[in-house]
């Protein structure tokens, strides 16, 4: 009786969420290698390490200002010794990014984007997050479809779990049956591939729900933190003194001496008198988890305190805050490097196939079998 209930739950939740799950999994598998694909088609992001000293941020900004035709940069990104410096300008008219050689000051590329310009990876991300629908409609649809898929995976485990792990049971769950016959092959595509991918798929669903459902992430956070609620992310504000902003050069010199092994420094620059310098110091290439998010008064560079799980140094974060910081790295497989991303990509592709193979199995079983025709009288 219990297995029958789980089998029905597995079937109907899978049928209800299937189409959305296919879209979410396919778009996720396309998006996971965004960084690598972008680097391959945009060679101006890399430079040759000449061994010379890197130019100061103020010098790079002055070069970028002339190339962009703007004097108010929004952010500066300084990477490793083989990466171009990147200066961004954001306004209502659009966005401009200037890539500058950090050794020579040569402008490598100026990229201008107008509002409404098509961006392939942004298009894929919007499909992944909200099915290209308005946010208030698409986001809940995706989140609750993922929740249904999460339950479908768990019930699938319960239904397919053997009473005893014999040699035959192991072979049935981890190998395709031979000879390959159509009905059994369809079942194996669903059952065997699903068994291989179930752990990474459960991780993908769990971390996706942490993004999509505030009640889910809030409940998990309280569980890990021992009952403490998750603080909202908040930037500190500076007191507007009317004085000139302190130099970014001084702040960068200070932070680069504190973290000499950091692989990237990102600075969001103040625009108004109450804005602060926001610095993200990345300690591992490609990681969103191993980075510090720190805030500084724009006049005297005194460090200020922000709020929320992502504020402050990652080594000083609480276990619950570290869990929130790790969430995206786990979701994309970044926490295990390139092969972790490959694992999540493969799991997503299998996840996209499961609703399709499950539907085909159900549809063929429910179709009435043809009535055998009587043999003609001799």
Q: How much is the average pLDDT of 161-181?
A: 79
Closest CA to 193 of 32, 330, 361: 361
Direct distance between the N- and C-terminal alpha carbons of the chain, in angstroms, rounded to an integer: 50
Domain assignment present for 9: yes
pLDDT in tens, 329-351: 999 999 999 999 999 999 999 99
Domain assignment present for 254: no
Peptide bond just before 98 cis, omega within 30 deg:
no
Number of separate domains in the chain: 1
DSSP states of 164-183 as a string?
A: S--HHHHHHHHS--SS--HH
pLDDT in tens, 183-206: 788 888 898 899 999 999 999 999
Domain assignment present for 157: yes
At 372 the pLDDT is: 59
Closest CA to 84 of 68, 65, 118, 60: 60
Domain assignment present for 339: no
Poorest-pLDDT segment among 19-33, 161-175, 189-203, 301-315: 161-175
**Structural domain of residue 200, as residue ranges?**
2-35+129-223+345-366
Q: Which residues contact 77 (CB under 8 A, 6 or more apart)?
A: 85, 86, 87, 88, 264, 265, 266, 267
Domain assignment present for 102: no
Domain assignment present for 60: no
- The SS3 call for residue 194 is helix
Taking each helix axis from N to C end, the angle separating 182-212 and 319-332, rounded to the nearest 10 degrees, works out to: 140
Domain assignment present for 54: no
Domain assignment present for 74: no
Both tokens of residue 41? 């088609």
């Amino acid at each position: 009786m219990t297995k029958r209930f789980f089998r029905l739950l597995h079937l109907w939740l899978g049928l209800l969420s299937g189409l959305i799950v296919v879209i979410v999994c396919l778009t996720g598998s396309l998006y996971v290698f965004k960084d690598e694909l972008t680097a391959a088609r945009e060679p101006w992001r890399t430079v040759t390490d000449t061994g010379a000293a890197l130019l100061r941020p103020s010098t790079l900004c002055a070069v970028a200002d002339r190339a962009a035709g703007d004097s108010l940069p929004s952010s500066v990104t300084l990477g490793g010794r083989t990466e171009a410096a990147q200066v961004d300008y954001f306004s209502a008219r659009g966005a401009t990014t200037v890539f500058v050689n950090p050794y020579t000051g040569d402008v490598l590329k100026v990229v201008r984007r107008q509002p409404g310009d098509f961006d392939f990876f942004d298009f894929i991300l919007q499909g992944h997050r909200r099915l290209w629908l308005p946010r208030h409609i698409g986001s809940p649809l995706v989140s609750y479809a993922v929740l249904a898929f999460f339950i479908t995976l768990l019930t699938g485990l319960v239904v397919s779990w053997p009473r005893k792990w014999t040699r035959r049971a192991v072979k049935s769950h981890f190998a395709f049956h031979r000879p390959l016959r159509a009905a059994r092959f369809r079942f194996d595509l669903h059952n065997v591939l699903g068994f291989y991918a179930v752990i990474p798929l459960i991780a993908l669903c769990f971390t996706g729900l942490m993004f999509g459902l505030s009640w889910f992430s809030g409940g998990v956070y309280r569980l890990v933190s021992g009952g403490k609620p998750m603080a909202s992310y908040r930037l500190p504000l500076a007191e507007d003194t009317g004085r000139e902003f302190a130099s970014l050069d001084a702040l960068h010199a200070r932070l680069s001496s504190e973290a000499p092994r950091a692989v990237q420094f990102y600075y969001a620059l103040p625009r108004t008198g109450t804005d602060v310098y926001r610095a993200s110091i990345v300690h591992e290439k490609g990681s969103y988890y191993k980075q510090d998010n720190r805030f500084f008064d724009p006049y005297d560079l005194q460090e200020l305190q922000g709020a929320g799980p992502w504020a402050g140094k990652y080594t000083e974060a609480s276990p619950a805050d570290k869990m929130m910081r790790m969430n995206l790295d786990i979701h994309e497989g970044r926490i295990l490097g390139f092969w972790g991303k490959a694992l999540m990509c493969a799991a997503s592709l299998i996840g996209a196939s499961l609703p399709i193979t499950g539907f085909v199995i159900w549809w063929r079983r429910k179709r009435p079998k043809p009535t055998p025709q009587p043999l003609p009288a001799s």
